[in-house]
Amino acid sequence: MIVSHNEIVAMVYKAFTGMHREVGEADVIATMVAELQMAGLDGVRHFNNASPYILTESDTPIDIIDQNAKAMHLDLHGSSLACHLPTIIDYALEKMGDSAHFYIYLQNCHNRWLAYSELVGLAAKGYACLAKWDNGSVPKHTLFTLNQGFVYPDLYFFDKAQSNYNTNDMVIEIATQNFDIEHDIQHFDRKISTDELFETHQRAWKEGIYVDDEQWAILKKTAAAILVENSEASSRGAGGV
């Protein structure tokens, strides 16, 4: 079905709010999902997959395992990245200070695709960004790269695991200069280019955003958790005439 950007934002906002978590911001997560969906990258499905885990995962701050002038290592305790990444990015940029390059190593996290809009947001702040993660299924490895001055990243997919990441980890590099990725992308199997993402995004504004019917129904059901059943008192609660 075709939905609007505002519908996705409103629906995810309600769905996340209905989870009654202390950690994570409904408006930010709603934007994460909508931006990913507009890019044609299944934002709603990723959020739906995350929802049951978000409901049950620990609702606590993350742990800093280690940090220095060039890098920080964080343990998310199996939490969804969606709930923590904005805070992590804020802190990382502060730690980065005037350095030209900074690494963020994230361990034990889920829903790494939902990082998309936060990573894209780095470009608006004048940074280049590189993110890598392995998956349990094909594609086994994903590389996200966004150069300074660009709004949309290049995405590279690899059918074979590339190296040394656990499948629940993610590495984000932030830099004040563009990355040389020649070596990293030697054996990629598929690519979505910045121009393709730009076109998909523009088309979504013009024609509406495609969402799988079943995924939309799941999201709607999650969002309904915030609604209060009717009662006589409730009917009067609107003050209607």
Partner 1 sequence: MNMVYTNNANNKSIDVKPPSLGTGFRTRDVIMDAQRLGAMHQTRISFVRTLLRKIDKEKWTLSTHLWDLDENGYGKVIYRLHTPEHLYHLVVFCNELADEERNDRVIAQKWDVTFGLVFGEISGELLDNLQANVPLQEAGRNSNMLMVLARANKSVRVFDHIVSSLAAGQQPDLDVLAQVGYILRTTAVYGNGKFGIYDFKPLDHSADFDQSFRAQMCAVYLLREFSLDWVDYLAQKKGSSKAVALHPEIKRYLGIGNATGLGMAPYLINHPCVVDQWLTTREEALQATLTCQIEPKETAHFASLIKRAIQHFGEIVTINEQQIKLNETVVTELMVLQNNLMTTINHYVTWAEFLQAHHDLSLESQEVIISCLMELYPERVDAFQEKINADESLSLPKGKVIQDLIDVLERHYQWAINIDFSQPENSHWFWYRSVDKEEPRLGVRGQEMGADRELALDIARQANKLYFALKQVNAQQLISEFILNQPKYRSIARRVWTMGHKQLGDIQMNVLHKDALPMHLLRCKLSMFGATKFDPRSDRWVRITLFQGAPLFAEVHSDEWLFPLLPDLSTEQGGLTHDRIA
- Which positions lie near partner 1, rule CB under 8 A? 1-7, 14, 17-18, 20, 22-27, 61-62, 64, 83-84, 86-88, 90-91, 93-94, 96-98, 123-127, 148-152, 176, 194-195, 197-198, 205-208, 224-231, 233-235, 237-241
At closest approach, how far in Å is the CB of 59 from partner 1? 9
Which lies closer to partner 1 via its Cβ, residue 103 or residue 198? 198
| Comparison of 209 and 218: residue with beta carbon closer to partner 1 | 209
Report the residue number, 110 or 141, with the smaller CB distance to partner 1. 110
d(CA 209, CA 130): 27
Does a cis peptide bond (omega within 30 degrees of 0) precede residue 86? no
CB 63 within 8 A of CB 74: yes
C-beta closer to partner 1: residue 158 or 216: 216
Task: Find the Cα–Cα–Cα–Cα dihedral 54, 166, 85, 29, rounded to 10°.
Answer: -40
- By beta-carbon proximity to partner 1, the closer residue of 136 and 239 is 239
Residue type, 219: L
Shortest Å distance, C-beta 76 to partner 1? 12
Minimum distance of partner 1 from residue 162's CB (angstroms): 27
How many angstroms from the chain centroid is the CA of residue 179?
21
State the Cα–Cα distance between residues 116 and 34, nearest whole angstrom.
Answer: 10
Between 86 and 139, name the residue whose CB sits nearer to partner 1.
Answer: 86
**Beta strands 2-3; 190-192: pairing state:** unpaired
Q: What is the side-by-side order of every strand in the sheet holding 154-158?
A: 63-67, 71-80, 101-110, 170-175, 128-134, 141-146, 154-158, 190-192
* Residue 96: CB minimum distance to partner 1, A: 7
